Copies of this chain bind each other. A is one copy, B any other.
Amino acid sequence: MDAKTLCLGVLVMGDASGYEIRKMFDEGPFAHFQDVGFGSIYPALAKLSDEGLVAVTGGSGDGHPEKKVYAITPAGRDAFTQSLARAPKRDKLRSDVTFMMFFAEFLDPDHLRDVYDDYLAHYRDRVQFMESLDPKGVPEGRLFVRGMGLAFYRAITEYMTENRDRLINAGPGAKDAAE
């Protein structure tokens, strides 16, 4: 999905500023399956505005930053629906930690253990956070996606908890690093 469609997706749920859009992908409901930075969001919003797909309110223009609020237009809604109707690209997971573990024998055992435990702790936090969310009034599509994220985080957490020693205790000189 290109940055323009991602922005429209947020705006279809309500008006927002560029900063607020970012938060949706950084810590909000999209955080576990999409990502966009400011470097993509601001140019995307400018283009959407040029094309009449969003309308802007606020923003002085002279020097100091003032909040600009974007609202989707009827043309923007149409464009969004059309984007969703296109055949989706296949999923893409990019995990540098997994790449490191693949080459576990090239790593310093202490470093491997530290990275592993940080990573596992992070996924445990994600599980706890998602379990704490209130499902009341959330549309079916969003609940489904949330449930899938939780299933994914739980699977990783369980696997990493059960197989920790298998990886940490492998490799040269790893015996001291296990705890």
Contacts from A to B (Cβ < 8 Å): 1, 6, 9, 12, 29-30, 32-35, 80-81, 84-85, 87-108, 111, 115, 122, 139-142, 144-145, 147-148, 151-152, 154-156, 158-160, 163, 166-167, 170-171
Contact = CB atoms under 8 A, between A and B. Distances in A.
A140 B1 contact: no
A140 B171 contact: yes
30 contacts: A1-B96, A12-B106, A29-B102, A33-B94, A33-B98, A34-B99, A84-B106, A87-B115, A88-B115, A91-B93, A91-B94, A91-B98, A92-B93, A92-B95, A93-B152, A98-B145, A102-B141, A102-B142, A104-B144, A140-B170, A141-B167, A147-B159, A147-B163, A148-B160, A151-B156, A151-B159, A152-B152, A152-B156, A154-B155, A155-B155
Q: Which of A81, A90, A108, A158 has the most CB of B within 10 A?
A: A90
Given A84-B107, A105-B139, A147-B159, A99 B167 contact: no
For the complex, would chain A's binding face be called helix, strand, loop or mixed by DSSP majority? helix
Given A95-B33, A148-B98, A12 B103 contact: yes
Given A140-B167, A167-B144, A103 B9 contact: yes
Given A30-B99, A141-B170, A106 B81 contact: yes
A91 B119 CA distance: 9
A10 to B, nearest CB: 11
